[in-house]
Amino acid sequence: MIKIEQAVINLQKFISGILFYSLEYSKYLNIPIILNNDLRKFIPRALEKYNLSENDFNIIYYNDLFFLQKALILDICTFKYINKKFIAKKYFYNYGNDINSLKIDYSKKKFKNIITFGDKEIGCKVQYHYPLCLNFKIFKKDLNCPKNNKKDRIFIENKSDINSVTINGVKQGLIRNRKNFFCSFDILRYQKENIWERANRLIPECKFYNKKIQYINKDTYIDSSNLRFERDWKDYDVNNFISFDTNKNFKDFYEEL
């Protein structure tokens, strides 16, 4: 068994926004990140948006049992698997992955060593209000995109239909995982219908890169995309965010518990 003081743990086998959040929280807290080995091939692409190389992160690809004092878990996939490979004295769990987090209250269950955090503003049943934020401190400010002499290119993301993702009407598939994604469009047209998003990254990132945003909302409930569209990207910078529960930033909250 490998003993580590603390780490961010991401056991997903596929690239998603959680990989970026995991990298960003690892650097923000200055703690190791333990990743599923299947994510190794995605790391070079994931790091394209940061002013850092892989050597600037303490990345561990797990192949053994681990014992930690503190484990930071940001997704439900990792949380479901965690007890098979990892033992920790304290689990900090971002509970808010799906619609169940609006109904189930983990504080009423017998998980004495789990501390739940998430976005109370959109109804997550968590102990502490700390929505997932982005670590803009490590982002590249200039992506060195080639000049676009054509009219504005529109990236359409319809959250109810992944197959409808297009740029100027041309289907793009999983374009958000492609190289130089933010150089490929000028306007984000975000369409939300019959979907609930707990920690939208795309909208604050587009604001950071000065992209125009067209927000089309056909839902009646509030989720993270609504709030992040209404607010400045700086409001969701983990380096700035202060919880109304604790009056502390996430780092102080995490270190003091």
User: pLDDT of 127-158, one tens digit each?
Assistant: 999 999 999 999 999 888 888 877 789 988 87
Q: Are residues 198 and 167 in the same domain?
A: yes
Q: Are residues 54 and 112 in the same domain?
A: yes
Q: DSSP 3-state assignment of 183?
A: helix
Q: Are residues 129 and 187 in the same domain?
A: no
Confidence of residue 39 (pLDDT cuts 50, 70, 90): very high
What residues make up the domain containing 126? 2-135+238-256
Q: How high is the mean pLDDT of the chain?
A: 86
Write phi, then psi, for 140 (nearest 5 degrees).
-70, 130
Q: Are residues 130 and 148 in the same domain?
A: no
Evaluate if residue 84 carries a pLDDT over 80: no
pLDDT of 57 reads: 96
CB 148 within 8 A of CB 137: no
Alpha helix segments (H runs only) across the chain: 17-29, 43-46, 76-85, 202-208, 224-230, 250-256
Q: Are residues 92 and 115 in the same domain?
A: yes
Q: Are residues 193 and 242 in the same domain?
A: no
Q: Are residues 20 and 125 in the same domain?
A: yes
Q: DSSP 3-state assignment of 80?
A: helix
Q: Are residues 165 and 128 in the same domain?
A: no
Q: How many domains does the chain have?
A: 2
Evaluate if residue 111 carries a pLDDT over 70: no
Distance CA 169, CA 109 (A): 48
Confidence of residue 176 (pLDDT cuts 50, 70, 90): low
Q: Are residues 128 and 150 in the same domain?
A: no
Q: Are residues 128 and 147 in the same domain?
A: no
Q: Are residues 129 and 150 in the same domain?
A: no
pLDDT of 163 reads: 47
pLDDT of 107 reads: 54
Report the pLDDT averaged over residues 81-106: 77
Q: Are residues 57 and 180 in the same domain?
A: no
Confidence of residue 184 (pLDDT cuts 50, 70, 90): confident
